[in-house]
């Protein structure tokens, strides 16, 4: 059994518990009452005309307490204060882990961040049911995560359509050329390339360039996993990343605001013109 399969099993148990408290119809109503979603695609530099896109590196900064590979990462006393520091540093989107068992996240963390900042938020969880998409919107999410490895094509299409119908965008996470082809075929506008092996949890940054070259120029490319320092940001930028998703390096930094500023400057300087 892969780590992904184990995580999803726990996600389903926790989801059933929440659904027993708040029904599908109730959460759908909550989603319709939420304030309109912000445009995460535009915030990440997205434009259907690649020639009109600027060369700035975008950062998705993550509120992340722990991970399956590293365990406890940082004591985050106030997710809201951390989010404010991220926003002040220039983060384009803030990601909040809401998976409880392996990442120590919660919707309470998400709500605290939503109340603190007015930039797009990614509800970072393992989406396996439409309930979670309505739930994300009900809590004010602008962007959700869809992992291609966890979904078949019918589910991915259904979840993408629902996400867009609710006014949100989806970060569609891929790990292989085949998964990228599936994501592109279904019209994904934001594709993440995660260089972490789902079976071993090892990171191979060298995979990014090989995989990213398969993504069309009108799609926002997000480099996921393995950002430790400026050199890693420059590496991803050089090979086509429009944005980076960073968690561990920021929550462990004593000055996350300054770290984000460094990452943006380094990535922007390293980005070549995209001409595929």
pTM assigned to the model = 0.94
Instruction: Provide the domain limits for residue 204.
Output: 3-275
Which residue out of 99, 135, 179, 224 is catalytically annotated? 224
Q: Indicate which residue of 194, 214, 248, 271 is catalytic.
A: 194
Confidence at residue 35, expressed as pLDDT on a 0 to 100 scale: 97
pLDDT of residue 201: 81
Number of domains composing the chain: 1
Please report the pLDDT score of residue 275 as a whole number. Answer: 38
124 is catalytic: yes
Active site residue 189: no
Task: Decide if 28 is catalytic.
Answer: no
Q: What is the pLDDT of residue 276?
A: 35
Alpha helices in 50-152 (DSSP H): 79-89, 107-116, 130-138
DSSP states along 177-244: HHHHHHHHHTT-SEEEEE-B-TTT--B-TTHHHHHHTTS-TTSEEEEES---SHHHHHHHHHTT-SEE
Length of the chain: 276
Is 194 considered catalytic here?
Answer: yes
- Cβ neighbourhood burial of 33 (10 Å; 0-12, 13-18, 19+): exposed
Specify whether the CB–CB gap between 122 and 171 falls below 8 A. yes
- Residue 28, CB half-sphere, CA atoms under 13 Å: how many? 8
180 — phi, psi (to 5°)? -65, -45
The answer to whether residue 271 is catalytic is no
> Residue 39 maps to which CATH number?
3.20.20.70
Cα separation, 4 vs 221, in Å, equals 22
Tokens of 150: 């966890």
Adjacent-strand bridge partners of 67: 71
Active site residue 224: yes
The predicted pLDDT at position 88 comes to: 98
Residue 197 falls in the annotated catalytic set: no
- Give me the residues of the chain with pLDDT under 50, please: 274-276
The HSE-up count of residue 209 (CA atoms within 13 Å, CB side) is 11
Q: Residue 274: what pLDDT? A: 47
């Amino acid at each position: 059994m892969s780590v992904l399969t184990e995580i999803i099993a726990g996600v389903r148990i926790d989801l059933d518990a929440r659904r027993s408290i708040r029904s599908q119809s109730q959460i759908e109503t909550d989603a319709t009452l939420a304030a309109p979603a912000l445009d995460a695609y535009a915030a990440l530099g997205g434009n259907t005309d690649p020639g009109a896109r600027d060369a700035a590196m975008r950062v998705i900064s993550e509120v992340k307490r722990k991970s399956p590979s590293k365990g406890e990462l940082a004591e985050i006393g106030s997710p809201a204060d951390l989010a404010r520091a991220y926003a002040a540093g220039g983060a384009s989107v803030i990601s909040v882990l809401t998976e409880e068992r392996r990442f120590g996240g919660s919707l309470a963390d998400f709500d605290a961040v939503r109340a603190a900042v007015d930039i797009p938020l990614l509800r970072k969880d393992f989406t396996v049911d439409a309930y979670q998409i309505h739930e994300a919107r009900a809590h004010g999410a602008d962007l959700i995560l869809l992992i291609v490895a966890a979904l078949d094509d019918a589910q991915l299409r259904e979840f993408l359509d629902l996400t867009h119908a609710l006014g949100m965008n989806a970060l569609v996470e891929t790990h292989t050329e085949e998964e990228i082809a599936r994501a592109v075929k279904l019209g994904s506008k934001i594709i993440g390339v995660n260089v972490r092996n789902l079976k071993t949890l090892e990171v191979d940054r060298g995979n990014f360039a090989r995989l990213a070259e398969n993504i069309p120029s009108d799609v926002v490319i997000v480099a996921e996993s393995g950002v430790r320092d400026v050199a890693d940001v420059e590496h991803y930028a050089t090979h086509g990343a429009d944005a980076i998703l960073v968690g561990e390096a920021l929550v462990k930094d004593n000055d996350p605001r300054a770290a984000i500023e460094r990452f943006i400057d380094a990535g922007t300087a390293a980005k070549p013109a995209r001409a595929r």
